[in-house]
Amino acid sequence: MTDHTAALDELRAQLGDRLVTTQAELDLHARNETYYPFSPPDAVAYPETTEEVAAILKTCNAHRCPVVAYGAASSLEGQHLATAGGISLDMARMNRVLTVNAEDLNVVVQPGITRKTLNEELRATGLFFPVDPGADASIGGMAATRASGTTAFRYGTMRENVLALEAVMADGTIIRTGSKARKSSTGYDLTHLLVGSEGTLGILTEVTLRLQGVPEAISAATCRFASVEDAVNCVILTVQSGLPVARIEMLDEMMVKGFNIYSKAGLPEAPHLFLEFHGSPAWVAEQMASFGEIAADFGAEGFQTATKTEDRNALWDMRHKAHYASTSFFPGKKLMTTDVCVPISKLAEAVTRSQAESRRLGLTCTIVSHAGDGNYHCGLSVDPGDADEMDRGREFSHTLAELALELGGTVSGEHGIGLGKMKYMDAEHGAALTYMRAIKAAFDPHDILNPGKMLPPPSA
């Protein structure tokens, strides 16, 4: 590990006690929700303004000291880990709502605010920010990983919901991308280039987000199917019919079993769809009726609806606890999660082949799917102390990535590349990877921004 003493001395002069090097802080910033090795930064910096971020980057660029943005640490591919040492740039103090533009349906926030806090602050406006990845992630982290979740089918992912950015580039230059207008045809789309760049091209310091009016009526519904194919085919027809379902989640029979153990759900152990409809009361009723007709064609049973807020919250709370429910079969084991996304026409094939592969490998596997998007997660119960089981888990993950590419899909629907998926970048992007590397080299010639992430070395 390189010695970054000179950079740290300079940063300490700039930030005072907001540059922290206590072991407890370093360890805290090395934590992650997955299996990545413990890799603490050399120091944690807590900037309070864009100008401070610019000064930090200028210093770090001069000293070739890595800088890794840190939000809520909920990323799942180790994006926030300082694996090459250097500075963990913790955005916790840049967590304010700057401007609510209610008439224009957007809000300007600092990157450290989390999505739940943002929605709390928007409560009085009648507007909300719809992207919901489950975790209470920071907005900066969600933008950087191009996050999505259960509502993306209706409202889009961070790709569609970030309208403009302020960012600090590797050498400390502050740029603004996009405008306050809803659309523009002027110049290269740097907003979309930065969204999903995982902190490797610039540090986000302001994010302008699209907002939605809180729907007049919201109804949730659940129903079950005899098979995963029936459930998925019901989703495909729902999508084709143009119904703007707000959420449409598919849970396989093992996932439902997990809910029964963990949340005492008492559901029949069959594949289910969990749905939510947004709109005026009449329009919600019509959407539910239309969906009911489609579902009946695929043999749906046990149609339950939830219109009261507490009942809907209980349903989505159960869904959001899929992580814990998936580990409820063997209390000592840990969860290994996958995140592929395929064209929805291939989703039934992908899910059933995944189930078969988990059986072949003797693995316990739950499946939850943002089915309207063709994105699904397999949750494997694995014992980190069981080398053979861990190997089988990794083999499963690898097979799934290859399956997704074979079916025209992508190795990550929403978790991103980070450390874990770099090995598939070449297979997924081919010659385009050269152009991604060219952008990285042009924007960050000394490779200080989240080095060792996203782009595999050319020799790999």
Of residues 190 through 229, those in contact with its own copies by CB under 8 A are 190, 192-193, 195-197, 201, 212-213, 215
For strand 334-337 and strand 67-70, is the pairing parallel, antiparallel, or unpaired? Answer: unpaired
> What does each C-alpha distance from 351 to 228, 389, 397, 403 come to in angstroms?
8, 21, 13, 10
**What's the CA gap between 56 and 43, in Å, rounded?**
12
Q: Which is nearer to its own copies, 17 or 103 (CB)?
A: 103
Nearer to its own copies, 189 or 317 (CB): 189
Treating both helix axes as pointing N-terminal to C-terminal, what angle do 281-297 and 228-240 enclose, rounded to 10 degrees? 130
- Considering only residues 87 through 116, tell me which ones interact with its own copies, judged by CB under 8 A: 101-105
3-state secondary structure of 169: coil
- DSSP of 320-376: HTHHHHHTSSSTT-EEEE--EE--GGGHHHHHHHHHHHHHHTT--EEEEEEGGGTEE
| Contact with its own copies (CB under 8 A) among 15, 87, 236, 365 | 236
**Closest CB to its own copies among 183 and 264?**
183
| Candidate residues 229, 429, 446, 447; the one interacting with its own copies per rule CB under 8 A | 429
The CB-of-186 to its own copies minimum distance in angstroms stands at 5
**Interacting residues with its own copies between 4 and 23 (CB under 8 A):** none
146 touching its own copies, by CB under 8 A: yes
Query: Quick one: DSSP state of residue 234?
Result: H
Minimum distance between the CB of residue 299 and its own copies, rounded to whole angstroms? 20
When the beta carbons of 7 and 236 are compared against its own copies, the nearer one is 236
Residue ranges in 312-351 that form contacts with its own copies under rule CB under 8 A: 339, 341-345
Two structure tokens written together for 363: 């693995």
From the list 73, 84, 239, 250, which residue makes contact with its own copies (rule: CB under 8 A)?
A: 239
Tell me how many degrees the CA angle 362-227-410 measures, rounded to the nearest 5.
Answer: 65
The single residue among 182, 308, 359, 398 that binds its own copies, judged by CB under 8 A, is: 182
Q: How far is the CB of 363 from its own copies (least distance, A)?
A: 24
- Alpha-helical (H) ranges within 81-227 are 115-122, 139-145, 152-155, 158-161, 190-194
Choose, by CB under 8 A, the member of 56, 411, 419, 448 that binds its own copies: 411
Instruction: Tell whether residue 276 is a contact of its own copies (CB under 8 A).
Output: no
Please choose, from the candidates 402, 345, 350, the residue with its C-alpha nearest in 3D space to the C-alpha of residue 376. 350
